[in-house]
Each structure stands twice: as structure tokens, then as C-alpha cells.
Amino acid sequence: MTTISTAPHAELAIAIRLADYMKAHNLEGPIEIGVSKASCYWCQQYLDFLHESLQPKLNIVNRATHGKCIDGWLIPDHPADIKRQMLDFVGDKMQAIFDLTNAHRCKSDSVPFDGLSSDEEMQLEINDRPLTY
């Protein structure tokens, strides 16, 4: 069994903390985050959402993304509206993968999933089989 540890990545914790502090003290940006590594795909998207929510007073500047999806990436709970945006974004990405997989699967000779129960699917597969004697 594989165990994956989850944690918010450091650049998100720093960005959120700084954004909260600057908003609380009515300070203006930019927020510059210095990290030795480029951000992962999920962090960059999260920072983009956070950046859009802070406009125009604060601006988040970070290094580019390496574009990889890292195992164990955890969405920070705060701020809630950015968490919701990120959940929707991840959900859309997953749906696109499912749709692509299903479209690929439909090219094979198997019966595509159409929302039927497993008993109905089994009956459909049985009915679709050619009769053999």
C-alpha cells in the first residue's frame, strides 16, 4: 500500500499570510515570494486565483511554474472563496480526464457508460451479444 502525505506548499502559506497581514494593515503590494524552486502546477493556479482576488492593491510576484502536478498537494482552507475556485478548477480538470478516457474507451468494443446501474449494464451487455448456438 502506498501512503501519500499531504500538506499545503510553502509558497501558498507565505502568500496567504502576507496577503492577510497586508490587508489587515491596509498596506499595498506587491507581495514578492522568493523560492528556490519553481511552483507546481496547482500552486501556480492557486496563486493566480489569489492574485486576481487581491487586485488592484496587492500583487503577488513569484517564480514561474514547472507545470508538474505534485502528489500530496493540499488546498489551503483559507481564504474560502479561493478554495472554492480551486476545487472547481480541479474538478473541471478531473472531468476533462474522465471525458477523454470515456471517449477513448468508446472507441473500443466495450459498451460506454451511460448512467445505468450495474444490473442494467449487465443486461444491456447480455442483450447486445450475438446469439450463438
Cell numbers found for residue 70 = 505534485
d(CA 99, CA 92): 10
- Contact call for residue 82 and Zn ion (CB under 5 A): no
CB of 44 to Zn ion, least distance (A): 8
- Contact call for residue 47 and Zn ion (CB under 5 A): no
d(CA 127, CA 82): 48
- Contact call for residue 43 and Zn ion (CB under 5 A): yes
Which residue from 40, 54, 60, 82 is in contact with Zn ion, where contact means CB under 5 A? 40
| Part of the chain binding Zn ion (CB under 5 A), chosen from 16-24, 38-46, 55-63, 89-97 | 38-46
29 vs 76, which CB is nearer to Zn ion? 76
CB of 119 to Zn ion, least distance (A): 43
The site map against Zn ion for 5-34 (x = CB under 5 A) is ----x-------------------------
Task: Catalog residues that contact Zn ion under the rule CB under 5 A.
Answer: 9, 40, 43
